[in-house]
Amino acid sequence: MRKTGFIAIVGKANAGKSTLINSFVRQKVSIVSPKPQTTREQVLGVWTDDDSQMVFVDTPGFFQSKNALGDYMLKSIDNAVQNVDCILVVIDGHDGIDEQEIAQISRYRKQNVPIVVAVTKTDISQPEKLMPELSKLNGLEGVAEVYCVSAKRNKGVEELKQALKKYLNGTEMYFEEDDVTDKTQRFAVSEIIREKVLLACENEIPHGVGVAINIMRQNGNTWDIDATVIVEKASHKPIVLGKHGAMIKGIATHARESIEKLLEAKVFLTLWVKVKENWRNNPSMLNELGYSNRSK
């Protein structure tokens, strides 16, 4: 019988949580970018093998909320650590560990489940800086184990995954054997588009971007997708469009290529850019974009 259970992946924004969940399940279930607050809601990544089913829960990174979307994101971190078998705290080894992270770890002790720490980005961390950080972590009350990994280079990830199996408490299967996520293709498509916007845009624009899928229709071997990139200020629209539309064209090309890989089919993608002032505080917009407690 397989051992099964849930493992919440938590940590600071940009620590490398989503890169790690993708590496655990060997598929891209959660988008990744160098901009903090890339992940906005829980995303499950499911790994099933001969002796286990591990359900990893990716979460937004913790940060100071300034609007209703931020409140939703923080709430989803709190929800993610309830009723799990283990909490995996991800720390950016290149950045070092700060007081806020230590405080979070002591807060998680209240959940009464094992806490494991993954120090990631070891491929770009300097050993002489990393060592004192590791001894800080090893001495922390409530931390069961500390692992060093590089999720980007797939170093140490398999060993960590194997080690986490001992914390699984269930025996029932939560997902089908070939499921890798709880999310729909429609969600994946909207996230791919948002990821390409995040990669193309700088400063405050990424935080205020939402993506709405207007049409997603299969026509034989091809897909027609029509989506709107929502920005929160009128001044952001010309930046996202770019000179003669060059920026949005580039975003659409990159997004189309990734979506074609996901859907394994030819894709016709049309992207629009619309301004919805202050949408991150607008409950009906948040609901429309899936940032509410119903599933997307």
Ligand X SMILES: Nc1nc2c(ncn2[C@@H]2O[C@H](COP(=O)(O)OP(=O)(O)OP(=O)(O)O)[C@@H](O)[C@H]2O)c(=O)[nH]1
Chain residues that interact with Mg ion, rule: CB under 5 A: 17-18, 38-39
Residue 150's binding partner among ligand X, Mg ion, none (Cβ under 5 to 8 angstroms by kind) is ligand X
- Does position 216 interact with ligand X (CB under 6 A)? The reply is no
Question: Taking the complex as a whole, how short is the minimal distance between the CB of residue 9 and ligand X, in angstroms?
Answer: 8
Site for ligand X in 19-78 (CB under 6 A): 19, 32-34, 36-39, 60-61
Of 260, 203, 267, which Cα lies nearest the Cα of 235? 203
Residue 167 CB, shortest distance to ligand X, in Å, is 21
| Residue 33 binding result from ligand X, Mg ion, none, given CB thresholds of 5 to 8 Å by partner type | ligand X
* Residue 181 binding target from Mg ion, ligand X, none, CB below 5 to 8 Å by type: none
Q: Does 18 bind ligand X (CB under 6 A)?
A: yes
How does strand 266-275 pair with strand 222-231? parallel
Out of 4, 5, 6, 16, name the contact with ligand X by CB under 6 A: 16
Q: Who's near 241: CB < 8 A, 6+ residues apart?
A: 247, 248, 273
Pairing verdict, β 52-58 and 222-231: unpaired
Q: How far is the CB of 148 from ligand X (least distance, A)?
A: 10
Q: Residues with Cβ < 8 Å from 70, sequence gap 6 or more? A: 63, 64, 280
Q: Closest CB to ligand X belongs to which residue?
A: 61
How far is residue 34 from each of residues 84, 109, 156, 190, 258, measured CA to CA in Å? 28, 29, 22, 18, 18
The residue (of 29 and 247) whose beta carbon lies closer to ligand X is: 29
**Does position 215 bind ligand X by CB under 6 A?**
no
**Binds ligand X by CB under 6 A, chosen from 14, 42, 53, 104:** 14
44: β partners: 57
CA 217 to CA 48: how far, in whole Å? 30
- Estimate to the nearest angstrom the gap between the alpha carbon of 228 and the chain centroid: 21
**Smallest distance from Mg ion to CB 19, Å:** 8
In order of 23, 25, 107, 253, 287, the CA distances from 20 in angstroms are 5, 9, 22, 26, 28
Residues 104-143 close enough to bind ligand X by CB under 6 A:
120-121, 123-124
| 15 contacts ligand X (rule: CB under 6 A) | yes
When the beta carbons of 32 and 69 are compared against ligand X, the nearer one is 32
Q: How far apart are CA 119 and CA 97, in angstroms?
A: 9
The reply to whether 152 sits near ligand X by the rule CB under 6 A is: yes
What is residue 121's DSSP assignment?
A: -
* Angstrom distance (rounded) from CA 188 to CA 206: 18
How far out from the chain centre does Cα 30 lie? 4
**Nearer to Mg ion by C-beta: 57 or 216?**
57
CB of 67 to Mg ion, least distance (A): 19
Q: Name the residues that contact ligand X, by CB under 6 A.
A: 11, 13-19, 32-34, 36-39, 60-61, 120-121, 123-124, 150-152
